[in-house]
Amino acid sequence: MSDVLYRADPYLREVSAHVVAHTPEGGVVLDAALFYPTGGGQPGDSGWIDWAGGRLPVATTIKGEAGTSILLLAEPLPLPPVGEPVTLHLDWARRHLHMRVHTALHLLSVVIPLPVTGGQIGAGKGRLDFDMPEAPSDVAAIEAALNDLIARDLAVTDDWISDAELAANPGLVKTMSVKPPVGQGQVRLVRIGAGADQVDLQPCGGTHVARTAEIGRVSLGKIEKKGKINRRVSLTLDD
């Protein structure tokens, strides 16, 4: 299993590694997973690989077997051989936008306490779909409440619980369409705030900022109807 660096330290931007495998599609597997693989509505990371034979642009990252990440190249180029030392460089600007948006969406699910039916994270914008039969009358009030939470500069931390503990606490799961991965013995929880200041706790495998103030101010767009009871709430980072 690769060393899951994107989870242990989402601020890490560069790492030395070795090639452990190639995939039939021309992907590369390393022994250190710095890049987040596509999942949970969050896009896979991009960047580049430096090695003795040159530089390889990485277009995206997907999940492989046994916790590995597969790096998919932006163009067909000769791959470093298995065992070759390489240096992996993350497109930090893009990742950081994903982290800010992802954390903001957690807080959006706090100010709109309804079941989540879907979501998507982008570089500077994102959205959640809610089981929301009626649209709220005051979107500005929701936006203000969201920015108030962000401005509280709450710590964002993680913890782990067992599959059995999650099963005994189904209220932790806010998403209706995507269930947290179980079967590996433990599930990661992302916590925003601590003690009396805790505002959110839910299973999540994505990358997040360390404190909510790092998100910056956000704006909400028009709430769109997406089906009989589903409504989409979009947000964008103001800078």
pLDDT digits (tens, 9 = 90+) for 148-190: 999 999 999 999 888 788 777 877 777 755 566 655 678 889 9
Residues 102 and 72 in one domain: no
Whole-angstrom Cα distance, residue 74 to residue 57? Answer: 6
Which residues are within 8 A (CB) of 221 and not within 5 positions of it... i.e. 6 or more apart?
A: 233, 234, 235, 236
Query: Which CATH number is 153's domain given?
Result: 3.30.980.10
Is 182 in a helix, a strand, or coil?
Answer: coil
Residues 102 and 82 in one domain: no
C-alpha 151: how far from its chain's center?
Answer: 21
Q: CA 121 → CA 69, 92, 155, 198, distances in Å?
A: 19, 16, 21, 23
Task: Return the sign of the alpha-carbon dihedral for residues 90, 60, 116, 145.
Answer: positive
Whole-angstrom Cα distance, residue 20 to residue 185? Answer: 26
For residue 51, what is the enclosing H or E element? strand 47-51
Tens digits of residue pLDDT in 191-220: 999 999 999 999 999 999 999 999 999 999
pLDDT for 2 equals: 47
For residue 95, what is the enclosing H or E element? helix 92-111
pLDDT for 1 equals: 40
Q: What is the DSSP letter of 126?
A: E
Query: Which CATH number is 11's domain given?
Result: 2.40.30.130
Q: What is the DSSP letter of 78?
A: P
Domain termination residue (choose one: 90, 108, 133): 90
Provide the domain count of the chain: 2
Residues 136 and 204 in one domain: yes
Residues 171 and 75 in one domain: no
Q: Are residues 130 and 231 in contact, defined by beta-carbon separation less than 8 angstroms?
A: yes
Share of the chain above pLDDT 70, in %: 95
Residue 40 buriedness (CB in 10 A; 0-12 / 13-18 / 19+)? middle
Domain termination residue (choose one: 39, 67, 90): 90
Domain termination residue (choose one: 33, 58, 90): 90
- Structure pTM? 0.92
